[in-house]
Amino acid sequence: MLQAITETGYTSPTPIQAAAIPLVLDGRDVMGAAQTGTGKTAAFTLPILHRLMPLANTSASPARHPVRALILAPTRELADQVHQSVAQYSKHTPLRTTVVYGGVDIAPQRDALRRGCEVLVATPGRLLDHIEQKTLNLSQVGLFVLDEADRMLDMGFLPDLDRIVRLLPARRQGLLFSATFSNDIRKLARTYLNTPAEVEVAARNATADTVSQTVYELGSADKRAAVVHLVKSRGLRQVIVFSNTKIGCSRLARELIRDDVKAESIHGDKSQADRMKALEAFKAGELEVLVATDVAARGLDVAGVPCVINYDLPYNAEDYVHRIGRTGRAGASGEAISFFSSEEERLLADIEKLIGRKISRGKLSLPSSPRRGRSSQGRGSSAYSRAPQQPVDEFFYKPYVPSSTAVQSAAASTASNSGRDSERRKSVGVLLGG
């Protein structure tokens, strides 16, 4: 395990690791509060693997590899990332790990479970699917982890969690990690944990000192051009751009691609395969921009993200803290840029009140572009090369100008109908785009 830790680049523990690891090794139940990007995953995976090492064996028999540690995560992306961390830290040991989540074929997961694994990472819904299909036995689970428990509650997983916990052995060690210690989280801890030790490494809603924060007041017509300008002028890659809606997320990614920006989007309406493909491309540095919704980005843990852009200010101020926590991780420097309009002053004020500081106002000088604001300036050359507009863009965004034939036809129609019954209704042809 030490070799694997060295390979990941760790030289000293982060605060959450220094506080939590000794407690977990001592067999204590732990209730930890830490934002993503603080080394939280290693704070529970490393001591869990250390405690399981005496039970490790090289036998090929699945019976010799029962599930001994169960880690629950709220989203597919987070579950996969935790699984990858476990696999990385345990790769020089005989310990096995598997991840199960929804949105993909259950058969390969069933086969993996039948081969046996000591560490199982799962989302609650898919875990219950396997339990109902009797492909999973939890009778030997001695370590139970709830990661991002606050998100679990936000997403309505409490009934599923209750069902799962009732299936676990009474004698077990429990670990619960959350961004905050809210009243609901404390109630959950009292239910699932046994006199847990509390570890809190950052004040509630604190933002990392290593992340610079700037806001720019922009009209909606200029926001996309601002993203293109920031990415291209600085040569940035692996930038996460947050949109408040799934529709806006997809639209922005498409438009950035037409602006010659390597971009993909992730949101709840995309298939699991598409989401994982986009995440892998982003992690590999193949994308300049990943456009995401808050739900899709929960638990997203990618090292080296230089910048996060809030294309839309979040409606919930706490989401701002979670968003900008995707950069400046593990002590690295990062930048958080937010766009706002005069109508969003209230949202910005709520964010500044929550984090207890004013965010620096900046000014952007944007290069002229024919597509900014989808205006009718004509087709000049863009400041950045891009693919041509698609026909659908011309249809929706080009102002309607009637042809001379249409004008003459309309005039003739009006003259011919002038003598008809005035109460007769006109029939109007409508073209619907969907």
- Residue 46, domain CATH: 3.40.50.300
| Same domain, residue pair 380 and 259 | yes
Location of structure tokens 């926590």: 325
| Same domain, residue pair 41 and 95 | yes
| Same domain, residue pair 283 and 325 | yes
β-strand pairing of 211-217 with 143-146: unpaired
Integer Cα distance of 219 and 373 in angstroms: 9
List of residues 6+ apart from 412 with CB closer than 8 A? none
Residue 74 lies in a domain: yes
Residue 239 lies in a domain: yes
Integer Cα distance of 381 and 378 in angstroms: 10
Number of structural domains the chain divides into: 2
- Boundary (domain end) residue, out of 165, 200, 235: 200
Residue 10 lies in a domain: yes
Q: Give the side-chain half-sphere CA count within 13 A for 381.
A: 3
Residue 76 lies in a domain: yes
| Same domain, residue pair 154 and 59 | yes
Choose among 90, 107, 88, 84: nearest CA to 99: 84
Residue 416 lies in a domain: no
Residues 204, 35: contact at Cβ < 8 Å? no
| Same domain, residue pair 285 and 243 | yes
- Boundary (domain end) residue, out of 200, 227, 246: 200
| Same domain, residue pair 24 and 172 | yes
| Same domain, residue pair 161 and 241 | no
- Total residues belonging to the chain: 434
Location of structure tokens 């291209």: 232
Cα 70 to chain centroid distance, Å, stands at 22
Largest CA distance in the chain: 98
| Same domain, residue pair 225 and 245 | yes
| Same domain, residue pair 234 and 371 | yes
Predicted TM-score (pTM) of the model is 0.62
Choose among 73, 67, 39, 40: nearest CA to 52: 67
Q: Provide the pLDDT for residue 151.
A: 86
**Cα–Cα distance list, 47 to 51, 68, 90, 242, 361 (Å):** 6, 13, 11, 34, 44
Residue 412 lies in a domain: no
Q: Provide the pLDDT for residue 1.
A: 80
> For residues 198-230, b (16+ Cβ closer than 10 Å) or e, as one string?
ebbbbeebebbeebbbebbbbeeebbbbbbbbb
- Boundary (domain end) residue, out of 149, 166, 200: 200
| Same domain, residue pair 192 and 231 | no
Low-confidence spans in the chain with pLDDT less than 70: 36-37, 202-208, 296, 298-299, 330-331, 369-434
List of residues 6+ apart from 327 with CB closer than 8 A? 211, 240, 305, 306, 307, 308, 334, 335, 336
Integer Cα distance of 240 and 308 in angstroms: 5
Query: Token pair for residue 283?
Result: 């992690």
Residues 194, 174: contact at Cβ < 8 Å? yes
Residue 167 lies in a domain: yes
Location of structure tokens 């509630």: 204
Note down the domain range covering 226. 211-387
Integer Cα distance of 234 and 236 in angstroms: 5
| Same domain, residue pair 23 and 111 | yes
Integer Cα distance of 340 and 362 in angstroms: 11
| Same domain, residue pair 379 and 253 | yes
Cα 171 to chain centroid distance, Å, stands at 34
Q: Provide the pLDDT for residue 9.
A: 72
Residue 23 lies in a domain: yes
